[in-house]
Structures are given as structure tokens and as C-alpha cells.
Chain A
Amino acid sequence: MKISTLARHLREGVKNVGRNGWMSIASISSIAVSLFILGVFMLLALNVNKVADQIESKVTIRAYLQVTANQAKIDEVERSIKRIPEVKSVKFVSKDEGLKQLRESMGEEGKAALEGYNSENNPLPDAFEIEVFDPQTVSYVAKKVMAINETDASKPVTDVRYGKGTIEKLFRITNAVRNIGLIFVAGLAVMAMFLISTTIKMTIIARRREISIMKMVGATNSFIRWPFFIEGALIGIIGSVVTAAVLLFGYSELTSTTQTDIGYYMIQLATLKDVGWIVTGSILAIGTLLGIWGSTISVRKYLKV
């Protein structure tokens, strides 16, 4: 295609958006609304993922030992744990340290409950705090640690605990967010496409005469189709640019005002830099595709070229 022809198609496409005023605005808005919801769900999912990662990386395994275990036994168990290849580090937490940690974590109310316990009558067992390289292997490593009992008749490990359930719950939330988002977005996308195809249909009907004359004087089908594709794509692009701008602005406001509040819970939201490109890119791509798709449907259906 010649540059001058492309320029003509572009001009025509832009003009059509203007000519169809309200219908174009309706199509642009419906694209923008569906993309906005898509964007919100994307941001939610990205953040839930990020939080899940953060929590995962903090997951450690605690293995509790027999209260009667002597130093030799403790060393032996430690060696066994270290032999598990997935284990990153092992830290011994003595019963006294355990009590101290418990006191700290329970705060004021714990003070009363733990009153009277000291190193003499400490009911807590000694324990190991185990870190793994890959959070996904936590449950596997936990089982392995428990299995030390099988080769040791004295059954030195009484219990193994880790953040079981927490991670699974988080993944369930992430998936739910994703699925609900997908259903919403799919429904809205269909609506947006329908509106775009109606807009294009109106353009085609309004220009039926012009199209028949174009055909009469020998315009090729692609020459006739191009302006409609451009019109559809343009509607999609405008809708997605508006959405991306609103979302990014909104998100930067949200992160800057809430960061300090949420930061208290040791959770960090994904930064604008982390998510900006992926969200903008997806919205632009999906918006443009919706626009082109909507116009293709109309052109195929109503433009018998």
C-alpha cells in the first residue's frame, strides 16, 4: 500500500469516529469500563501474588524435640536435618530462647500468662528453626524432618510445624480473584465488542452510497475495508489509553497514601514500576484487539464486498 493511501485510510478512519459522535463515545466508554475492571483485577491479582511471595519467603519450619533429648542427640538431629539437600539453614532454638520469643510475641497479655515460668520449670521443648531454599518444598522438607524418627529408635522429633494452610489459603484467594475477574472481563468485553460492531455498522450504513460508488469505479475490497478497521482500532486505542491513564494515576495515589499504613503489617504493595508496564501493555493490547475484532465482525457481516 502506498503511503498516501494509508494516509487517506487513516484520515477516513479518524473522520468516522467523529461522524458517529455518540456511538463512538459509547463504544469507547464500554471498552474503557471493561478494561478498567480488567485492570483493577490485574492489579489485585499482582498484589495478592506479591504478598503471597513475601509471606512464603518468611515461612520457616519448626521442629520440636523430645524434652529429654540430650546435647548429643540434639547434635545428631541437627546433622540429619542438614543432610536434607533442600535445607538452607538450621538454627537451634533452646527452650530458654523459645520462652523468651514466646514472651515477646505475646506482649502485655502474655506477661501474666507466662508469669512464674523460668529456666527451671520451662515447659517448652528445644527446637530447630529450618529455612529452605524454595518455599514450595516446605511441606516436603517438614515430612523429611519428621522421618528422622524412623531411623532413630528414641524418636527425638516430637512435632514439626510450618505455616501450613496460610499459603494454600493465599493461593485460593489469588485464584478466586483471577477467576472472578476473568468472568467479569469476558462479559464486558463481549458487550464492548458488540457496541463497536454496532458503531461500525452505522458507519457502513451511513456510507452505503459511497461504498457502492467506490465499488462501481473499481476500488478493491481492502481499500474499502481499511478505514473501518482503523476506526475500530482507534476506538479501542482511545478507550485503552484513557483506562491506562486513570488506572496508573489511581494506583500511584493509592500506593503513596496507603504504603505507610500497610507497611505496618510488614506487607509491601507492588510498586507502580513493578506493575505499570504489564498493566498498560495488556490493556492497550486487549483494547486494540477488541476494537479491531468488533469492526471485523461488522465489516464481514454488513459490507458485502
Chain B
Amino acid sequence: MIEMQDVWKTYPDGTVALQGINVVIERNEFVYVVGPSGAGKSTFMKLIYREEVPSKGHLSVNGFNIGKLKHRKIPYIRRNIGVIFQDYRLLPKLSAFENVAFAMEVIESPRRLIKRRTMEVLDLVGLKHKANSLPAQLSGGEQQRIAIARAIVNNPAVIVADEPTGNLDPETSWGIMKLLEEINFRGTTIVMATHNKEIVNSLRKRVIAIERGSIVRDQQRGEYGYEN
């Protein structure tokens, strides 16, 4: 699903964010990416959803060579990758329903399909009854659920989640994790960067630890391995 061979990333200011990353993430895996702040986790994630391109090395996602992708092809790649952020990134003036439907509108799905599919994913994240609420009227956990609904509405092959529980209390975080596990169970690959020790240690998955731009540990059912 995701394959990196000797991937390097150097930013224009000279910062070397990743140096020689080699990793393969298979279809339907659930992977935690852990490590200290500034170690290169975010760059790792950004490479996957093609926010950044590798400076060197080979990277393919879902069979596409991301590094050599033509500019106009990028949107079509992104349709296969759902992205979730710590700060939800919902549009404040749109209702929960509209925020989710928006992701289908921009890829020009037929209207009737948009309505049916949007209600379906809102039901899946447990917020069908809040369809008409604005983000400001929802709690943090509910907003993140809407963001997740938006990420999965177009049936992506991969979900990239950058600290999805970073702003949430432990109880709400667990709700979000249950949801991600459910989505993973349905066949979507999940790559999640996190600082949440409890979650990593309790909900055991593959753990990839990145320090100073290199993978220092890659372990199935691994531990978080850092003191917060």
C-alpha cells in the first residue's frame, strides 16, 4: 500500500527532516507513528498525502509513484487518501452534513449519491442526529468525528491521521480510536501519528518510531516507548 525506499526530505531552508527512510505498510494495516516532537513524524505523514515530495528516494502510495506524479494528477491521488488533523479543519459556516458533503461535491459526485452517502457516514460516526449543527455547536470529539466522516466519505484506501486525539480528553479519545478501529476493520489502511502513550500501549498495533529523521524502531504490537 505504502512503500518508501531510501526516502530523504530536505526543506529549502536546509533542514533535513527525513534521512533514508525504508518502510513498507501493507493494505489494511493499522500503524502508529511515534517519536519526539520535531523528529520528522509530520513530514513522514505529509509525504504520504502528497503535501510534500521526497527530495530523494522512491515513494509509492496505492501503486502510484508519488514523487514523479504529474501536478494535475495529484487531486485524483488525494481522493484515495483521507486526512484527519488534530484541529479538525472543518468549515465553520457549513453544517456537519455540508462539511461532509463538501468532500463529495468537489469531486463532482451526483447529488443523490451525495445525500445518501453523507447520511450513511454520519450514521457510522454516530452523529446522524447532529447533521444540521454547525461545528461551533459541537464538542471537540464530535467535530473530530465529523472530520473522520469527511475523510472516509469518498471511500479512501488510506487514512492519514496526524494526532487525531491531540486536543481531546481521554474518554473522547477512546471513542475516536474505536471509530478508527472500526474503519480499519472495514478494510481501510490507517497511518496515525500520535503522542498518546495510553492509546498506543493499550490498543496494540504496529509502531514505527522516528527520531532525528530516521526510523529507530519498527515493531508489531509495539509499545509507545517514550515518557510523555
Contacts and interface: CB of A to CB of B under 8 A. Distances in A.
A223 B107 CA distance: 9
Given A4-B111, A213-B91, A218 B79 contact: yes
Nearest to B99: A213
Contacts of B78: 215-218
A210 interface: yes
Considering residues A209, A215, A217, which has the most beta carbons from chain B within 10 angstroms of its beta carbon?
A: A217
Contacts, number: 48
Nearest to A216: B83
A217 B107 CA distance: 8
A148 to B, nearest CB: 76
A218 B102 contact: no
Interface residues of A, number: 17
* Interface size class, chain B: 20 to 34
B12 interface: no
A214 B103 CA distance: 7
B108 A5 contact: yes
B89 A219 contact: no
Interface string A127-139: 0000000000000
Nearest to B90: A213
B75 interface: yes
A219 B106 contact: yes
Contacts of A216: 49, 78, 83, 89
B102 A217 contact: yes
A223 B106 contact: yes
B97 to A, nearest CB: 15
A220 B72 contact: yes
B150 interface: yes
A19 to B, nearest CB: 11
B76 A210 contact: no
A218 B111 contact: no
B91 A219 contact: no
Contacts of A218: 75-79, 103, 106-107, 154
B105 interface: yes
Given A217-B79, A218-B154, A219-B75, A209 B91 contact: yes
Contacts of B111: 4
A158 interface: no
A217 B89 contact: no
A223 B102 contact: no
B89 A213 contact: yes
17 contacts: A8-B105, A209-B89, A214-B106, A215-B75, A216-B49, A217-B103, A218-B76, A218-B78, A218-B79, A218-B106, A218-B107, A219-B107, A220-B75, A221-B72, A221-B75, A223-B106, A223-B108
Interface of B: 49, 71-72, 75-79, 83, 89, 91, 102-103, 105-108, 110-111, 150, 154
List the 9 closest pairs (A to B, CB-CB), nearest first: A218-B79, A219-B106, A218-B78, A217-B103, A220-B75, A218-B75, A214-B106, A5-B108, A216-B83
Given A4-B110, A218-B77, 20 more contacts: A2-B108, A4-B108, A4-B111, A5-B108, A209-B89, A210-B91, A212-B89, A213-B91, A214-B102, A215-B75, A216-B49, A217-B102, A217-B107, A217-B150, A217-B154, A218-B78, A218-B107, A220-B75, A221-B72, A221-B75
